[in-house]
Structure 1
């Protein structure tokens, strides 16, 4: 009986946390978009000038909460035909598991490397937060082709709204293996709290100014 009461209490705590988190993140992302609008405009112009014919915003289908798909926005960091060229580099993947990472990916532009290193390419995802497709903090949303090879354990990371930043991103990012990423995401999901979110946000600020493991 006591265990059941504890579980019920935790359930309502998480439910309340999720509801309040969504409201706070909506307004926080809206405020950030306004404050950062000069930065966003500057980046938009710089990226456009670097390749006038190529799109500035890169749109990619990602898998979110409960395996629903959505279009995620980023500033373009690769050559325009990067997706078509991917097949040429799959055998050079530098990370094990259902992910593709190549430290010196030739598809990434010179400007793109700077944007990735500083995580500035992620700023358009604030729009995804406004739309409720992403949260500020949560597991990174995977690609559809990655989820196809997920185990049941791996799919557990899809039970919450994906985030712009998360425990994986502030704990080594691309230097970690896929299974280490899954373990960190499951730890986050099993320990949801305001304190954990705050810790991740504070570490994210540090990662932006002292980037490590981003490529």
Structure 2
């Protein structure tokens, strides 16, 4: 299956690989890990019936930015909320470089810069009883094209149709040497539930 996917155009190949559980490991590239503060806006329009998504709530998280290549590749941001629902019970999000609004937020787009880019979860979540897509948007300003300590991203959410809107803030802190952060769809709870294909994905 993986061999057949390699002949497809890059955007289609990356998106299809993710839908099939990422046999090409497009979304599992390693990258630097940062400690980060995530704060949901006081006025954020958040779905009810979730433990994590609360206006004004602040969390200390770990964020992986990958890969470090300067080439035009699919880039990912993995956000881990450690012990979100109790000891060892994390909440993970994985965002890939993408577009804004349906159907673009379901496609992974290669880019040569980690900053000045929108990222999407690509797949739907149920937040309480509401289907949503999550994402992040890197603010412009990094001269290197990378994301590193001191950079800020908007935490985004959108509906099945329509564009993303900001619900919070991600501020990157110190890089953690030799740290590794991965995504597991099973790391979810508190009224948040990834739907297929995200339900079967690890990265």
Note whether the superposition's TM-score is higher than 0.5.
Answer: no
Q: How does the TM-score come out when normalised to structure 2?
A: 0.26
Q: Which has the higher strand share?
A: 2
Specify the structure having the higher radius of gyration (Cα).
Answer: 1
